[in-house]
Amino acid sequence: MRKTFYFLTLCAGLSTNLFAQDQKATVEKIVTEATENSQLKVLAHELLDVVGPRLVGTPELKEAHDWAVQTYTDWGISAENQQWGVWKGWDRGITHIDLVSPRSVSLEGMQLAWSPSTSSKGVEAEVIILPEAKDSLSFQNMLKQVKGKFVLISMQQPTGRPDDNWEEWATPESFEKMKKDRDVLKDAWDARIQATGYSSRELPKILEEAGAVGVITSNWSRGFGVNKVFSAYTDDIPMVDIALEDYGLLYRLAEYGDKPSIKVVAQSKNLGEVPTFNTIAQIKGSEKPDEYVILSAHFDSWDGAQGATDNGTGTLVMMEAMRILKEVYPNPKRTILVGHWSSEEQGLNGSRAFVKDHPEIVAGVQAVFNQDNGTGRVANISGNGFLNAYDYVSSWLNAVPDEVANIETHFPGAPGRGGSDYASFVAAGAPAFNLSSLSWNYWNYTWHTNRDTYDKIVWDDLQNNAILTAVLAYMASEDDDKTSREQIVLPVNKRTGAQMTWPEPRDANRRGGLDD
């Protein structure tokens, strides 16, 4: 018996040692492929420079989906576009905004997403500030002032310098005075909006109905030269965003009675109802094909710039990780699937649709790894409320090279309820984890802004994240055990006193921007 036990123990030890050696060799191959044959810059050029921004409902997003399918196919990876709904189709054209009086100068700005078009000749008219009324009845009586005019509906910022610039150079007294003055201006502008009886989203339509020829906003992002660019709320007249510096010029000219006039040429096309897709690619599992390791990143973007760090970088990481895995780990134990979701920006729609439409895949999820907050090195991973997440995620991370895995973990954490596509899977009870990155001033300089461009990518950090993702996917695929889905008991809500509950799955908006 002792001899038999010794023999079995020896065999088990040899098997464990051989697996450890194979694991180490595979991880080394992943690192070598990522560092010596990186395709990140080529992919970034093709996606960001050639295709460009990927607003849902636009030809560019469909072009991106087709490009991704072809790229995966060229790598020998099965891929397809899966339609999950329809959206309001729109094709952005050229925007020109010029001050024509009291002097001539071209202004920095662009039409907002889904903005109505002008004629090819454009629209020329005086610019006025949103009328200031004491109450909604007075505002109705003042609405005739906007007829035939462009209307400024955003607060004039007192400074175009971000706070950290003030903090570095101003006296403490000057800095505090600026912030107090800004707060006073904000309160006054909020009161002006409130007195109209409408919200900021409702106002553009009201001004349109009153005869305005265009609506002008300036959604400053608290950094040098950055504005956030979202969607229009008008049906027939153009709605444009103008950079803080030029918006301030127009505002002061109007305020001082100089009667500024601008000419706006905003060319775009309403394309009606168009299909919207997710791109799904997979490397089929050899032993457990019905269990899945999912790599996740949303494919769509706002279109103020190129959508480089939101979420071009997450997309590039997942594509590069898939390419590496196909090269060094072509026969995974479990199926490795990548989802490039559309319409994340309008409410996680693509991933919610996938979770709803593919319960068999969700039931087989081993792990989901999602990346969606900029170009920085992954620095944080939460267990998202899965009680035993530490047991498996920490063991997978242990295989990641030390120079890559400088990561703070939070176990068991709390379930993510939104923010990115991992939340769609968490709500369905599938172990999903967000690979959260270092900031690189993401929130004010590139998130949804007119400066989210190729040049903001930090390539060393992106390569780091591709290695991390590939190793995590490999380890999750090879794990002998299926991951636990046991959830923590959530605490009582301190505000309401009620027991908190796990988030529930929600279906997608499958008819975005379309009237039923």
User: What are the structure tokens assigned to 172, written together?
Assistant: 């403490």
Q: How far apart are CA 22 and CA 16, in angstroms?
A: 10
Summarised one tens digit per residue, pLDDT across range 228-257 is: 999 999 999 999 999 999 999 999 999 999
Q: How far apart are CA 459 and CA 472, in angstroms?
A: 20
For residues 141-164, give the mean pLDDT. 98
Q: How far apart are CA 264 and CA 209, in angstroms?
A: 19
Q: Which H or E run includes 64?
A: helix 59-74
64 touches 299 (CB < 8 A): yes
Residue type, 506: R
What is the 8-class DSSP label of residue 76?
T
Q: Does position 95 have pLDDT exceeding 50, yes or no?
A: yes
Q: How far apart are CA 51 and CA 432, in angstroms?
A: 30
pLDDT score at 394: 97
375 touches 457 (CB < 8 A): yes
Q: How many residues does the chain have?
A: 516
pLDDT score at 405: 87
pLDDT score at 134: 96
What is the 8-class DSSP label of residue 168?
H
**Local confidence band at 1 (pLDDT 50, 70, 90 cut-offs):** very low
Q: Are strands 365-370 and 288-298 parallel, antiparallel or unpaired?
A: parallel
Q: Does position 2 have pLDDT exceeding 60, yes or no?
A: no
CA distances from 396 to 55, 129, 392, 410 (A): 35, 58, 6, 15
pLDDT score at 8: 45
Average pLDDT, the chain: 96
Q: What are phi and psi of 431, to 5 degrees?
A: -60, 110
Q: How far apart are CA 367 and CA 388, in angstroms?
A: 13
430 touches 365 (CB < 8 A): yes
Percent of the chain with pLDDT over 70: 96
What is the 8-class DSSP label of residue 50?
I
pLDDT score at 516: 53
Min mean pLDDT across 9-18, 101-110, 140-149, 257-266 is at: 9-18
Summarised one tens digit per residue, pLDDT across range 256-294 is: 999 999 999 999 999 999 999 999 999 999 999 999 999
User: Hey, is 93 helix, strand or coil?
Assistant: strand
54 touches 303 (CB < 8 A): yes
Summarised one tens digit per residue, pLDDT across range 181-210 is: 999 999 999 999 999 999 999 999 999 999
Q: How far apart are CA 5 and CA 448, in angstroms?
A: 63
Q: What are phi and psi of 234, to 5 degrees?
A: -110, 160
**Local confidence band at 5 (pLDDT 50, 70, 90 cut-offs):** very low
For residues 407-428, give the mean pLDDT. 96
Min mean pLDDT across 17-26, 27-36, 287-296, 389-398 is at: 17-26
For residues 208-223, give the mean pLDDT. 98
Q: How far apart are CA 350 and CA 353, in angstroms?
A: 5
Q: How far apart are CA 318 and CA 420, in angstroms?
A: 15
424-441 b/e with 16+ CB inside 10 Å = b? bbbbbbbbbbbbbbeebe
Q: What are phi and psi of 509, to 5 degrees?
A: -80, 110
pLDDT score at 434: 98
Q: How far apart are CA 371 and CA 198, in angstroms?
A: 37
pLDDT score at 3: 41
**Local confidence band at 9 (pLDDT 50, 70, 90 cut-offs):** very low
Task: Identify the bridge partners of residue 151 per DSSP, sorted by sequence position.
Answer: 128, 215
Q: How far apart are CA 276 and CA 341, in angstroms?
A: 10
- Among 191, 193, 199, 207, which residue's Cα sits nearest to residue 239? 207
- Among 434, 319, 344, 375, which residue's Cα sits nearest to residue 61? 344
Task: Identify the bridge partners of residue 125 per DSSP, sorted by sequence position.
Answer: 262
pTM for this predicted structure: 0.94
Summarised one tens digit per residue, pLDDT across range 296-354 is: 999 999 999 999 999 999 999 999 999 999 999 999 999 999 999 999 999 999 999 99
CA distances from 74 to 79, 274, 372 (A): 10, 27, 25
Q: How far is CA 32 from the centre of its chain?
A: 30
